[in-house]
Amino acid sequence: MTPRPSKPFTMALVRVAAMSAALVSALLAPSAWAQSTDLSACMAELRPAARTGKVSDATWTRHTAGLQADFSVIEKLNFQPEFRMPIWDYMSALVDEERVSDGAARLTQHRQALVRAEDRFGVDPATVVAVWGVESNFGQTFGKYPLVQALGTLSCHGRRQSFFRGEFFAALRILQAGHIAPERLVGSWAGAFGHTQFMPTTFERLAVDFDGDGRADLMDSSVDALGSTANFLARAGWQSGLPWGIEVKLPAGISLAGEGRRSKRPVSEWTARGVRRIDGAALPESLGNVGLLTLAGANGPAFLVTRNFDALYSYNAAESYGLAIAHLSDRLRGGGPFATPWPTDDAGLSRAERRELQGLLTLRGHDIGPIDGMLGDKSREAIRAEQKRLGMEANGRGGQKILKTLRGG
């Protein structure tokens, strides 16, 4: 997946209505198989609930026999990152010239399917392609975890087992229905998969066969994924013809207390408080009720956002994520960068600049692994070492300052 904060659990929970008393007890008590990679005992406990959840005996046996736990997914579930990405780093990596160019190519390549999706679901092509770009870099980054193993592990170990069991049973039903070949059902450690990273229960509710081959396949059919994403946003309340929001200029001294995406007010109230479009023009009344979004405070870019921003937010329950999709969609329509700069003296890096930084670190003898534009633990450790050597703040962050310094030798 693209570099970004860990994906929150936002897809609908599947609750099993009928569970045996033994299974309920197992949910409340420590598991007997707590330290074992062998999931057979846990699978035996889960079998009655899976059967109630319409997973056939044949499907269950085929996909769970000999299933082994992958404890790396538990580590990711429990991991609390020490390194928190500033919003300007997040946006710089997700909405860069490279992704804008790639997205424009996808708009042309899939024009026919995107027009059909807009006609059927009312969601414009740029927005659908922006989701695709942010979620999987246009199908280039799906994730590597076999979903049955990952979700089976999470169903038996760690926190939120009830949630993951619902997703586990849904993944098995997807295989049972023949939508996706077993060896192709891979994705994130938490179970999201495909071009636009649906959770299994979301797939069951909202995936559509948009290419007409009789299967809804988000792994190998980008057309199905685009149609399914448009369906998701439509069901989330997307209103055709309404922008997600606009960048605005705030008057000096405006209070942000109590304001946010959810605190929507009529445009007339924002006008009365002195808020204007970023170019100084009057706010358009056609926006309806809007909320104020300021992810970097009053000194950073500010936006009045509509209900369509809420639809984007529902895809991943993170305002930074919603803003990345919104901004990328604007760039794909020909818009430019935000007019207001982020309030930092050390701006973020594009993916090309991140790769350049990794190359410079490698030339200085640091082992950072592959040069992929993903500033992971090894890259940050190397950055920290160089910052310390150069007398800079050793925070491990890759920004313009360390890049320009290393460029200069």
- Quick: pLDDT tens for 255-310: 999 999 999 999 999 999 999 999 999 999 999 999 999 999 999 999 999 999 99
| pLDDT confidence of residue 230 | 98
| pLDDT confidence of residue 34 | 56
Q: Strand 265-266 and strand 289-293: pairing?
A: antiparallel
Q: How far apart are CA 83 and CA 85, in angstroms?
A: 6
Alpha helices in 1-71 (DSSP H): 21-28, 40-52, 57-64
| pLDDT confidence of residue 179 | 94
| pLDDT confidence of residue 294 | 97
Given a contact cutoff of 8 angstroms between Cβ atoms, the answer to whether 191 and 155 are in contact is no
| pLDDT confidence of residue 4 | 40
To the nearest 10 degrees (0 to 180), the angle between helices 161-177 and 40-52 is: 70
pLDDT above 70 covers what percent of the chain?
90
* Per-residue confidence band for 17, with pLDDT thresholds at 50, 70 and 90: very low
Q: What is the pLDDT of residues 82-134, one digit of tens each?
A: 557 899 999 999 999 999 999 999 999 999 999 999 999 999 999 999 999 99
pLDDT above 90 covers what percent of the chain?
87
| pLDDT confidence of residue 85 | 87
| pLDDT confidence of residue 286 | 94
Q: Strand 245-249 and strand 145-146: pairing?
A: unpaired
Helix (H, G, I), strand (E, B) or coil at 279: coil
Residue among 147, 155, 201, 153 nearest 26 (CA)? 155
Helix (H, G, I), strand (E, B) or coil at 344: coil
Instruction: Name which of 14-18, 269-273, 342-346, 382-386 the model is least confident about.
Output: 14-18
Residue where the block lists tokens 């969601």 = 123
pTM of the complete model: 0.88
Question: Computed over its alpha carbons, how large is the radius of gyration of the chain?
Answer: 23
| pLDDT confidence of residue 6 | 40
Mean pLDDT of 310-331: 96
Q: How far apart are CA 237 and CA 190, in angstroms?
A: 26
| pLDDT confidence of residue 62 | 97
Q: What is the pLDDT of residues 171-214, one digit of tens each?
A: 999 999 999 999 999 999 999 999 999 999 999 999 999 999 99
Is the predicted pLDDT of residue 11 greater than 90, yes or no? no
| pLDDT confidence of residue 80 | 55
Report DSSP letters for 236-250, one per residue: TT--TT--SEEEEEP
Provide the 10 A C-beta neighbour count for residue 386.
Answer: 20
Residue where the block lists tokens 């056609």 = 286
CA angle 334, 340, 342 (to 5 degrees): 110
| pLDDT confidence of residue 241 | 95
Give exposure, 68-103, as e/b (b: 16+ Cβ within 10 Å): ebbeebbebbeeeeeeebbbbbbbbbbbbeebbebb
Is the predicted pLDDT of residue 218 greater than 50, yes or no? yes
Is the predicted pLDDT of residue 20 greater than 70, yes or no? no
| pLDDT confidence of residue 83 | 59
Q: What is the pLDDT of residues 227-255, one digit of tens each?
A: 999 999 999 999 999 999 999 999 999 99
Q: What does each C-alpha distance from 329 to 214, 266, 352 come to in angstroms?
A: 30, 25, 20
| pLDDT confidence of residue 29 | 37
Average per-residue pLDDT for the chain: 91
Residue where the block lists tokens 């209070």 = 255
